Structure 1
Amino acid sequence: KVRLMIGQRFYRESKKSIEPLRSAPNLEIRVLPVDSLTGGVLHAKYFIVDDSIVFVGSPNWDWRALSQIHEIGVRINNRRFARTFEAVYNFEWKLAGHPDLPRALRAAVRPPAFSPVTEGNPVILHNGQGDVAVAFPAFSPPSLIPKWVNTEQPALVRLIESAQHTLRIQVMTLSALIHYGPRGYWKEVDNAVRDAAARGVKVKIIVANWSLRWPVQAYLKSLAVLPNITVKFSALPIAPEGFIPYARVEHCKYAVADDDRAYIGTGNWGWSYFNNTVDASVFFSGKGPVSTLINIFDRDWNGPYVTVLEPGVQYKAPKNH
């Protein structure tokens, strides 16, 4: 039995691919009208298999994500973790079938019939090779999730605040300027990053060259001028077969605090992704699994496709479609 949920806005773009699936046996499709409920979109990318396995990460369900875009995801095999994800999915699945938000919010306060995975009640994971991780999920937006799960923004801020010597951030775009939602300044994550640098934490940020559009470029330069913050942008070469629209880009969304705590998510770092858009993430600690992310980050950081963002240089954003 397969259930597929897609956001209203992206459904319009993907209709030609999705509609033929409706005739497939054992498959049901629902469209979640996030834009009419909160003004955001369904941006989460995850699937749950047999009530026991979860995959969550940055890739869209698109061929380009598997071969033409830099993505990061995490696969977790744990029944209680999967049930927590499924409870959130079921909440939104029902909302897609009956988009009555006040009724859904009343149901959101009811505790589940099992012990959900939260920051205060995480799972301990073993990979069979001696590595151990402590993990919990978090979700956005606060208005479209059960009240007993963790929300992403506060959890991400706490991760950043916990950094003592190094903070690594790799995300397609990062901006405290609110572009989708009420115009203004998104202070929570921005303040946490700046405060980390002020404490002496070495902050390393990699963004996509798509972020060189204004005013995001100006915002990134406001970080780059600060002591202890270095911003780099990546520019991946055009594919050998030629230009591919919406591809060859840094699309990861993750962060590493020091050498033993990390976050892998589905949303870019902007106000809308945490406050009116559906996203999901995994927070975990443990030197073994975190070292994998550090190795990926450091390879990119020291690799041939990144350039230091210089505050005094004007950069041209690339064509992406």
Structure 2
Amino acid sequence: MAGSTTQEPLKSQQKCIAIFALLCCFAVLVALIFSSVNVWGDDEDGITEENCSRNCRIVLVENIPDDLLLPMNGRLHLPLSVGFHTLLDQAKHSVEVVSPVWDLNSWDMETWPNMAKQGQLLFQRLLSLKSRGVKLKIASSLTNSAELRTLADRDAEVRFVNMTVLTRGGLHSSFWIVDRKHIYIGSGDMDWRSLSKRKELGVMVFNCSCLALDLHRVFSFYWQLQDRDYIPSIWSKRVTALYGKDNALELQLNDTQAAAYVSTSPELFCPKDRTRDVDAIHHVIQSAKTFIFISVTDYLPLVSRRFRGTSVTRYWSLIDEVIREAVVLRGVRVRLLISFWRQTNPLTFNFVTSLKSLCLHLHNCSLEVKFFSHKERRDDIQHGLNHNKYMVTDNAAYIGNHDWVGSDFAVNAGVGLVLKMKSSLKDRGVTILEHIKAAFERDWRSHYAKSLQGSKDQESKHRHLQHKAAAA
């Protein structure tokens, strides 16, 4: 009996220790969650999946430099600068911006006085948001931007994402969210060149809070990386994806039934349920039935990384192979329009020659490649540059921030938007896909789009002049 009496206090003490240990573990877990991410995330203004708007208006926006003589074919798309001002006109509460560049005020007004004006006007509009009671929030990887400092002095909230530490890459994302209702995604940056000298393409979607809410979650993810040198392992619900390639948002785009979702890269920047950019591109290519038209500044299926002072380059097949499969196995017609400029990698010609060779001895096989080339000036390497980054097919479109270069998807932050029409081509009217396709065909048929052989001759001449200048 005495032994039994002695064991009871001992068991009670052991239970207390066990309960205390469990409470300590729970406290540590909660502390880890709070330290890794903001559990509650940013306020979403009462917008939920249940009450958000799915009846949306979409507009194609472009910047076409004045000296690019392109036939309009009766279809005038909204100028990019006008689109940005339209978004600011709509703003009542908030404007959230992510851009890889902040250079709206030209450094050389004497050389480009007229071209720089649009950038300056946009910057002044951003500065004036405070006087209207509109909150401006900016996520950026730039630490020494004079323009961001000026905006911060006018009560803009600016947060820094240290991409070098997080992925050893850069921030390529370019998008806007206004009032959690209107969005912009495209190739144009907060750069005066994007509003004047460079050829850009993107889309603006209005009164579409469902899609805006999901893109806002991408913004919130960047926002929570302020001062962090690691990617959290535990995600806040407020940064997880609402839609993806397997559960796309069902919506109306200009009275046409459609589906849409946002993708991101690199993989480290993809929280729960978020589709990777490369998987979104796969999805669009694999769903194409008759044609795939691609317009990018650079196409290079390589990944280059530095390790302990040594650069390592390897073949990156994720997009290259799915294009080959579409052409050879499914008989889909592919056109690839790449920019030819001073930073074009010579290996680009090797890879596209390899792609073109697929159809040498095959019937029902069509893969064409052209290079968009505008006469460059010695003091300005981006004058007339085709900076587009999109793809359109018979039933879908992908508009992104990355060139189709392996290294971009591997380490650089970017965002893409997939749009898919629900009805067949013959059953629908003129949709955003037809507008994007018309823009591609206009560029493809222009005298700036040159065949592979002609571009290779230019490339050889270009390299010779470079070597000659360097020797002098």
TM-score, structure 2 length as denominator? 0.60
| Alignment check: 8 A CA contact 2:376 2:382 kept | no
Q: 1:214 to 1:235 in 2, by over 3 A?
A: same
Deviation at 1:281, TM superposition (A): 0.8
Paired residue secondary structure (1:54): strand
Q: Report what 2:262 is aligned to.
A: 137
Structure 1 residue 92 displacement after superposition? 1.4
Match of 2:432 in 1: 289
Per chain length, whose mean CA-contact separation is higher, i.e. which structure has more relative contact order (CA < 8 Å, sep 6+)? 1
The alignment status of 1:222 with 2:354, answered yes or no, reads: yes
Asked if the contact 2:264/2:274 (under 8 Å) is kept, the reply is yes
Match of residue 244, structure 2, among 73, 98, 118: 118
Q: Secondary structure at the match of 2:417?
A: strand
Amino acid at match of 1:2: L
Taking the TM superposition and a 5 Å limit, the aligned residue runs for 1:1-321 are 1-8=135-142, 11-12=143-144, 15-25=145-155, 27-77=156-206, 78-95=208-225, 97-102=226-231, 104-107=232-235, 110-112=236-238, 116-128=242-254, 130-180=255-305, 182-199=312-329, 200-210=331-341, 212-227=344-359, 228-237=366-375, 244-257=380-393, 259-286=394-421, 288-310=431-453, 313-316=456-459, 317=462
Unaligned residue ranges in structure 2 (runs of 5+): 1-134, 307-311, 360-365, 426-430, 467-472
Q: How far apart in 1 are the matches of 2:240 and 2:339?
A: 40
Shift, 1:127, TM fit = 4.4
Distance 1:113 1:143 in 2: 13
Task: Write the distance in 2 (CA, Å) between the matches of 1:114 and 1:176.
Answer: 29
Sort the Cα spacing of 1:6 and 1:312 in 2 relative to 1 into closer, same or farther, 3 A. closer
Separation of aligned partners in 2, 1:263 and 1:235? 23
Q: 1:145 to 1:226 in 2, by over 3 A?
A: same
Distance (Å, rounded) in 2 between the aligned partners of 1:163 and 1:37: 35
Query: Structure 1 residues 113 and 57, CA, compared in 2 at 3 Å: closer, same or farther?
Result: closer
Larger Rg: 2
Query: Structure 1 stretches of 5 or more lacking a match?
Result: none
Q: Secondary structure at the match of 2:292?
A: strand
1:4 maps to a residue whose letter is I
- How far is the alpha carbon of 1:54 from its aligned partner? 1.2
Contact map agreement 1:236 1:249 (CA 8 A) in 2: yes
CA distance in 2, matches of 1:269, 1:24: 37
- The answer as to whether partners of 2:240 and 2:271 remain within 8 angstroms in 1 is no
Alpha-carbon offset, residue 158 of structure 1: 1.9
Percentage identity across aligned positions?
Answer: 25
- Contact (CA 8 Å) 1:175, 1:216: kept in 2 or not? yes
| Cα displacement string for residues 194-222 of structure 1 (whole angstroms, at most 9, x for unaligned residues) | 11111222110000002643222222222
Q: Deviations over 1:137-184 (max 9, x none)?
A: 111111023222211111211211222221110000111122356520
On the 8 A contact 1:255/1:263 being kept in 2, the answer is yes
Q: Distance in 2 between matches of 1:243 and 1:312?
A: 22
Quick one: distance in 1 between partners of 2:241 and 2:376? 48
Which residue identity is paired with 1:58? S
Counterparts of 2:256 and 2:283, CA distance in 1: 24
Task: Give, in whole Å, the separation in 1 of the partners of 2:456 and 2:191.
Answer: 35
SS state of the match for residue 231, structure 1? strand
How far 1:115 moved relative to its partner?
Answer: 7.9
Query: Match of 2:395, as an amino acid?
Result: D
* Aligned residue type for 1:254: Y
Amino acid at match of 2:439: I
CA spacing shift, 1:106–1:100, aligned 2, 3 Å: farther
**More displaced stretch, 114-123 vs 280-289:** 114-123
Post-superposition offset of 1:113: 9.1
Q: What amino acid maps onto 2:185 in structure 1? A: V
Deviation at 1:188, TM superposition (A): 0.9
